[in-house]
Structure 1
Amino acid sequence: MVRTAAAVWCSASAVVLAFAAIHLNPTRSEPAAASANGNHAAVKTLQHRASQPHDADQQLNDVYRSHTCGAVAKANAESAVGQPGSIPCIGDQVKVAGWLEFKRLVGDNVFLSIRDIHGSVQVVFRQEDFVGFTEVRALIDKLPKQSVVSISGIVTARPQTAVTEASAVEIAASSLVVLNRATLVPFDHQQTNVSEELRQQHRYYDLRNPKLQHSLQVRSKVTQVIRSVLADEGFLEVETPTLFKRTPEGAREFLVPTRTPGQFFALPQSPQQYKQMLMVAGVDKYFQFARCYRDEDLRADRQPEFTQLDMEMSFIRPIDIQNVIEKIVARAWLEVHGMKLELPFRRMPYQEAMEQYGIDKPDTRFGMKLQNLQACKELLSQASVARGFRVQVPESLRSPFKKALPRLIKELALRNAVTKPFNGLPAALEDATLAQLDLVGADFVCIATGDHAESVLQRLGKLRLAVAAELERLGHPLRNPNEFHFLWVEDFPLFTESDTAQAADGTMALEATHHPFTAPHPNDAHLVFTDPRKVRGLHYDIVVNGWELGGGSIRIHDSDMQERLIREVLGADITKFSHLLKALRTGAPPHGGIALGFDRMMAILLSARSLREVIAFPKAFSGRDLTCEAPSAISDKDLADYGLKLIAQPDTKL
C-alpha cells in the first residue's frame, strides 16, 4: 500500500493543502508516481510559493486538470485513453479540478464530491494511504463547501454496493490543492426553499446548479444546430446596430442619451428595419441571434432584454420561410429530445383559432373547443353574442371542481359573470338542441354572452385555459408535457382598433396588429384605404402548446404604399421612417421574414417554468439586475455631461 505524507502550505490569504508523494520536492504540489517501498516522510510546512522563483515557473507549467470530473465519472475498464477531457480507464492517474460539492467522514475514510460543468466525481481519502491522517481529516473538515480544489489520484472501481447510476468509479486521492477557499456561501444548492431574490442576487453562484448549467449547455448546442441548418440553406449571418433611433413600432423603448444636447439613441425592439434594408442591399438571406429591448411590464414569459433568432429572405412566399423554420425546429427537437416532429406543421386561420379556442395562440393538446350558442342565446340573455364550451369532469372531482368555478371566474375578472355554476341547463334546451351544439354528455357548460364577439371569445379562451389548469391541479391531467403540438396561425387582421385613441371621425383609431411593415393579403389589398378593418395581413405566427414561439410576415416593398399606409391609416409621423422609405425607393425586392423568441424556445425545449431559467443573467420581475444592482443612480455631474437634470427624486426603494 502506498504511504504518502501530509503537507500544509500557509499563506496570508488562504490555506492550501497538499498530500505530496514522499520523493517529491516538498515545495511542489504535483504528485509523482507513488514509491514502491511504501516509506513515508514527516509532515512538512511548505514555504510561500512567491518566494520560490522555480516554483512559480513550475506552477505555470503544471496543468490544473488532466480530465473533467464528468469524464472521470464515466470511466470503466474498457475506456480509451486520450486527450484531457476524454474518458480515462480504471487504474489511470488523473487530476481533476472543480468545486467541493459534498464531504462526509465515514469510518476511516473521507469522501468528497467534486463538480464541474461536465459532472461530479467522488473522491476518497483512505486512512491507510496517509501518515498523519488525523491532521488530513481535520483540515478537510474545516474546508468550506464550494471551495475550488484540484485533486490528483488513481481511478478505482467503487465497491459493488456503492455503484450508482451516475458512476461506478471514484478517485483514490493522493493530493489535494485548494485553489480558492470559499468565504461566502449564499445558500446550499440542495435547498428547495431559497427565494428567487436571493438566487438572483448571487446569480454567478446559482449558475453552479447542475440544472442551470445544463440549460446553458443545451442553449449553446441549439445555437450551433441552428447555425448549421441556416448555413446549409445559404443564409448569411449579419450583425446590426444596437444603437438605433426611436420609431413608433408599438412597445416602449429604452432611450440612450448622448453628449449632444437633446439627441438620443434608442435600443432596438428588433432589427426589423435594418434587416429590410439588408434585403434592399441584396443580402438575399439574412439571420442573426439579435439582442432586443422593450421597456414593458414583466411576466414569466417576458424580459426587458432578450434574444431572438431574426431572419429575412428576398423573393419569397410565406411558405418558403415557414419551411426553413420547420427545419430548424425539427432539428432542435431531434437534438434535445430525440423526437422526430411531423412536418409540415398544421395551418390554422386566425378566425378559426379565435372561434374555437378564444385565443390566437391555441393549445390544441386538449379539447373543450368553444361552441356557437347563437341558436339559444334568447334563453340566456338579451346579448347579441353567445358562446360556450363543455367540460367533462371525472366523478370524483365534480364536487371540488364545482367549488372552484366561482374562484376561477373571480380571478379572471369576468364582468357580469355568473358567480354560481349552473345546477343544470335551462329546461328549454332540448336534447336535440344540445346534440346539435355538441354539448351532450357534458358535466359542466361554461357560457359567456355579450355584444362584441371578440370580447366574448377572449373571455372564454382565458376561462378554458384556467379550467384545464384547475382540473390538472385536482389530479386530472389534460395536457401532456411531453407532447408538442405545433401550428401556424395565419390571416391575422392587418389593423386592430386602439383601446384608447380616437380617429378624427370619432371612431377608434387603428393600430398595426403586428407592425406597420406587414403587407396586406393580395385578396384584400384593394380595401386598405377604403375599408381597412376588413383587411387581412400576410402575417404568420408559429405556436406550440399555447405559446407563441415566433412571428413574421411578408413586408411591404413598395415605398408609396408603405408611406401612405403609415400616414393615412395609422396617422404616424412619416419622418420617423424616412430612412426606410428612402431605401425602398432604391429598388426593394419582395421580401419577408420572421423572428423566433429564442429564450422562449429554450424554455419550451427544457420545460422551464420561467425564461429566467434559460438566461445566464436575467432581470428580476422588477426589471432590475439584482446581481449587479442595475439600473443605478448617477451623479448630477454625469447627468450634466448629457445635458440632463433630474426633475424628480429617485425611488430609493428600487
Structure 2
Amino acid sequence: MAEAMVGLKRTHRCTEVSAANVGETVTVMGWVQTRRNLGSLIFVDLRDRSGLLQIVFDENSVGKEGFDKAYTLRNEYVIAVVGKVEKRSGAVNENLKTGDIEVVASQLRILSESETPPFPIEANINTKEDLRLKYRCLDLRRPDIQSNIIMRSKVATLTRAFLANEGFLEIETPMLTKSTPEGARDYLVPSRIHPGKFYALPQSPQLFKQMLMCSGYDRYMQIARCFRDEDLRADRQPEFTQIDMELSFVDVDDVIDVNERLLAHLFKEVLGVEVKLPIQRMTWQEAMDRFGSDKPDLRFGMELKNVTDIVKNCGFGVFTGAIENGGSVRGINVKGQGAMPRKKIDALVDFAKGYGAKGLAYIAIHEDGTVKSSFAKFMTEEEMQSLIKAMDGENGDLLLFAADKNKIVWNVLGALRVELADQLGLLDKNEFRFLWVTEFPQFEWSDEENRFVAMHHPFTMPMDEDLDMLETNPGAVRAKAYDIVLNGTEIGGGSVRIHQADVQQRMFNALGFTNEAAYEKFGFLLDAFKYGVPPHAGLAYGLDRLVMIMAKRDSIRDVIAFPKVKDASCLLTNAPDVVDEKQLRELSINIDVEEDDK
C-alpha cells in the first residue's frame, strides 16, 4: 500500500469537487460503485464517505495502458484517479451533489482489488440484517449507514463543544469498578491478581460523578461507555453510550434549562430543526393517566379515558370485578375505525394479551349510528350511551376498553395506542415532539423481592414535601426525577441527588438495607459524603437512541458501528467465544457448563 501511494496525494473527497473546480486538476480516491463501458469511453462512479463523483476514462486522456486498466475495474475496487474537472458532457444528474461535473482521468492507479461483495453496497437494501452484520465492514460502506455514523460523530462533537462552553469539564471515570445492587445485571470481569474476586463493568458512571461533585469539580460531562447484561430489543444493546453530566449547586429547573438549550442546539445544527422552548412538562401521574406510559408519544391523540365511575354499577362483570379488586376501567377512542373487521379487532385482543390483558372489550359505532359491541348484552341502552358519551364516541369510531389493576390497564392501553398509531400511519418521523416527564414515584414494589425498590436509583432525592412519608407511606413518595422523552422514546433521564447523609440513610432503610449492608456496598460514597457535599443533580442521555430518532431509523443497530444482535453476540467477530484453558487457570476459573449448553 505504501508503494501504491507513492507520488499521490488526495486533494479532495468526492463531493468536495464542484463546478468551482472546473479546469483544475484534482486527485480523488475511493471505491468503484459502478462501471459503465461505452466502447470508446468508460464511466466510473467513484464513492467515498462524502458521496459519488463521476470519472470518465478516455484513451486520449488516460492513455492506452490506463484505459485498459479502467476496463478491468469492478465494484469495490479501491482506486486513485488524477484528472481534470469538466462540466458534464451528458445530462446533468439532479440527484447527485456532483451531478453537474465529471473528472476526465489522466492517471489511474488501482490501490486494491475486491471480490464480489455478498450484497450490494447501496442505501436501503433488503438484505437480511444477520448477513449485513456478519460483513459489517461492507455494510458500513453503504451511504445510509455512513450518514448515520457521521451524524453520530457530529452530535458527539457538538455536545462536547456546547457543554464545554457551559463550564463542564470532561472527566473519565473507571471502566473496572465494583458491582453494586439496585440496577440491571452486571457484566463481571474476573481478577487474576485477586483470585475469586471480580470487577464489574459500569452500568453508568453514577457514583463516580457524584463523588466528582463532592470533589468540587462543579460541572462534569463524559461521553461514557456503559454495560448492562439485560435482554436486548430494538433500542437496547449490552454496551451503549451515554452523554453523561452532573452539576453542583442546582435544582431541577437548572438541569432542565441547560439540557433544553443543548437539544435545541443539536437539532438546529444537525437537522436544521427548530426546537420550541421551553419544552412541555408533564408529571408521571398525568402521563400514565392520559397515555398509559411514562414515555408518551405526543405526535397523535388517542388519549386514555378513565370510565370507572361510569361503569362501576353496570351489569358487565368484567368491569365491575376489576373495580371491586381495586382496579379501573379505561378506554381509547380510535377515530374513524368503527368499521374495522372483526379479524383485525381479534388481532388487537391478542396484542393486548401480550401486555397482561385478559381480554379487550370494544364498541364499534358504524357510520349509520348502529352500535356493535362485545359486551352490549350486559349493558342497558342508557348505560351504553353514557359510556359512548364519556368516550366522546361519534359515528365511525371504535372504542376499546381494558379493565384490571391500574398498572396492567396502563401497560395494555399505552402499548395499544402506539400499535394502532403505527398501523394507521400516524407516526410522522419528520415530527419531533419533546416532553419532560417529572415527579416519578420514588419507589416501585417488587413482587420478586417482596420489597420496595428504587424506580431510578437509591441516590434520588424525594420531593421535599414527601420526605415525611419515607417511613410511613413509601409508595406515595415522589422523586425529584425527570426523563426527557422524544416521540415516545425515553432519550435521557436524571434526578436531583440526595446530598444529606441522614436522608440517604433513610432511603437505604426504606429499601430494606441494614446500615452494614449499605456501608458494604456504598461505603466509599458514604465516606465521601462526610466531608461537605454540595447539592447536585444530573442527567444522562442514551446517545444511541437520540441519534436513532434524529436519523429516522427504527433500530439503534443502524447508528452503532459494530452492534450486537438479539442474543448479545457479535456476528462479525463471533464474540463471545471460548477462551484458552490456560487463561481460565490464570483467573482461577473452572467452567461447569451442561453438555446441551456447550
TM-score (norm 2): 0.90
Q: Quick one: which amino acid aligns to residue 443 of structure 1?
A: D
Instruction: Name the residue aligned to 1:637.
Output: 582
- The correspondence for 1:458, drawn from 386, 397, 411, is 411
User: Percent identity between the aligned chains?
Assistant: 40
Note closer, same or farther for the CA distance 1:177–1:500 as it changes in structure 2 (3 Å cut). same
User: Unmatched 5+ residue regions in structure 1?
Assistant: 1-13, 15-49, 51-55, 80-88, 473-477, 503-508
2 CA distance for matches of 1:273 and 1:131? Answer: 67
Deviations 1:60-111 (A, max 9, x none): 7623312111112xx11xx2xxxxxxxxx11111111111111011242111
2 CA distance for matches of 1:295 and 1:650? Answer: 23
Note closer, same or farther for the CA distance 1:579–1:433 as it changes in structure 2 (3 Å cut). same
Instruction: Name the residue aligned to 2:348.
Output: 408
Instruction: Name the residue aligned to 1:298.
Output: 232
Q: Is 1:628 equivalent to 2:563 in the alignment? A: no
- The correspondence for 1:120, drawn from 43, 46, 52, is 52
- The correspondence for 2:72, drawn from 119, 142, 148, is 142
Deviations 1:242-294 (A, max 9, x none): 11100003100100001121111000000000000000001111111010000
Q: How does 1:375-454 map to 2 (within 5 A)?
A: 375-379=310-314, 380-381=316-317, 382=320, 383-384=322-323, 385-393=328-336, 398-400=339-341, 402-413=342-353, 414-418=356-360, 423-424=372-373, 426=379, 427-429=381-383, 431=385, 434-441=388-395, 443-450=397-404, 452-454=405-407
1 CA distance for matches of 2:278 and 2:360? Answer: 42
2 CA distance for matches of 1:556 and 1:165? Answer: 56
Q: Quick one: which amino acid aligns to residue 412 of structure 1?
A: A
2 CA distance for matches of 1:437 and 1:523? Answer: 35
Report the RMSD for the aligned CA atoms in angstroms. 2.2
Q: CA deviation at 1:162?
A: 4.0
Secondary structure of 1:583's counterpart equals helix
1 CA distance for matches of 2:412 and 2:390? Answer: 23
Q: Do 2:474 and 2:510's aligned partners in 1 also have CA atoms closer than 8 Å?
A: no
Matched residues, number: 568
Instruction: Name the residue aligned to 1:92.
Output: 24
1 CA distance for matches of 2:289 and 2:60? Answer: 76
Q: Quick one: which amino acid aligns to residue 534 of structure 1?
A: A
Q: Quick one: which amino acid aligns to residue 421 of structure 2?
A: A
Q: Which structure has the larger Rg?
A: 1
Q: How does 1:327-346 map to 2 (within 5 A)?
A: 327-346=261-280
Q: Do 2:41 and 2:58's aligned partners in 1 also have CA atoms closer than 8 Å?
A: yes
Q: Do 2:14 and 2:53's aligned partners in 1 also have CA atoms closer than 8 Å?
A: yes
Q: Quick one: which amino acid aligns to residue 631 of structure 1?
A: P
2 CA distance for matches of 1:652 and 1:537? Answer: 43
Q: CA deviation at 1:527?
A: 0.7
Q: Quick one: which amino acid aligns to residue 593 of structure 1?
A: G
Deviations 1:195-234 (A, max 9, x none): 1111111111111111111112111111121122212211
Secondary structure of 1:344's counterpart equals coil
Note closer, same or farther for the CA distance 1:324–1:570 as it changes in structure 2 (3 Å cut). farther
Instruction: Name the residue aligned to 1:43.
Output: none
Instruction: Name the residue aligned to 2:591.
Output: 646
2 CA distance for matches of 1:411 and 1:587? Answer: 53
Q: Do 2:331 and 2:391's aligned partners in 1 also have CA atoms closer than 8 Å?
A: no
1 CA distance for matches of 2:594 and 2:410? Answer: 45
Instruction: Name the residue aligned to 2:36.
Output: 104
- The correspondence for 1:554, drawn from 484, 489, 496, is 496
Note closer, same or farther for the CA distance 1:280–1:441 as it changes in structure 2 (3 Å cut). farther
Q: CA deviation at 1:582?
A: 0.6
Q: Quick one: which amino acid aligns to residue 378 of structure 1?
A: N
Deviations 1:125-175 (A, max 9, x none): 12444654xx76554343331111101111111135244331211111111
1 CA distance for matches of 2:73 and 2:90? Answer: 29
Q: Is 1:273 equivalent to 2:207 in the alignment? A: yes
Q: Is 1:498 equivalent to 2:457 in the alignment? A: no
Secondary structure of 2:224's counterpart equals strand
Note closer, same or farther for the CA distance 1:94–1:434 as it changes in structure 2 (3 Å cut). same
Q: CA deviation at 1:569?
A: 2.8
Q: Do 1:392 and 1:441's aligned partners in 2 also have CA atoms closer than 8 Å?
A: no
Q: Is 1:524 equivalent to 2:472 in the alignment? A: no
Instruction: Name the residue aligned to 2:10.
Output: 65
Q: How does 1:573-592 map to 2 (within 5 A)?
A: 573-574=517-518, 575-592=520-537
Q: Do 1:280 and 1:587's aligned partners in 2 also have CA atoms closer than 8 Å?
A: yes
1 CA distance for matches of 2:388 and 2:449? Answer: 42
Secondary structure of 1:412's counterpart equals helix
Q: Quick one: which amino acid aligns to residue 201 of structure 1?
A: K
Q: CA deviation at 1:428?
A: 2.7
- The correspondence for 1:258, drawn from 179, 184, 191, is 191
Secondary structure of 1:429's counterpart equals helix
Moved more, 349-358 or 382-391: 382-391
Q: CA deviation at 1:644?
A: 0.4
Q: Do 1:390 and 1:442's aligned partners in 2 also have CA atoms closer than 8 Å?
A: no
User: Unmatched 5+ residue regions in structure 2?
Assistant: 365-371
Q: Do 2:362 and 2:400's aligned partners in 1 also have CA atoms closer than 8 Å?
A: no
Note closer, same or farther for the CA distance 1:420–1:530 as it changes in structure 2 (3 Å cut). closer
Q: Do 1:158 and 1:170's aligned partners in 2 also have CA atoms closer than 8 Å?
A: yes
Q: CA deviation at 1:121?
A: 0.6
Secondary structure of 2:422's counterpart equals helix
Secondary structure of 1:208's counterpart equals coil
Instruction: Name the residue aligned to 1:40.
Output: none
Secondary structure of 1:435's counterpart equals helix
Note closer, same or farther for the CA distance 1:608–1:437 as it changes in structure 2 (3 Å cut). closer
Q: How does 1:533-548 map to 2 (within 5 A)?
A: 533-548=475-490
TM-score (norm 1): 0.83
Note closer, same or farther for the CA distance 1:460–1:163 as it changes in structure 2 (3 Å cut). closer
Q: Quick one: which amino acid aligns to residue 169 of structure 1?
A: I
Note closer, same or farther for the CA distance 1:556–1:442 as it changes in structure 2 (3 Å cut). farther
Secondary structure of 1:342's counterpart equals coil
2 CA distance for matches of 1:195 and 1:532? Answer: 49
1 CA distance for matches of 2:393 and 2:340? Answer: 20
Q: Quick one: which amino acid aligns to residue 342 of structure 1?
A: K
Q: Do 2:287 and 2:294's aligned partners in 1 also have CA atoms closer than 8 Å?
A: yes
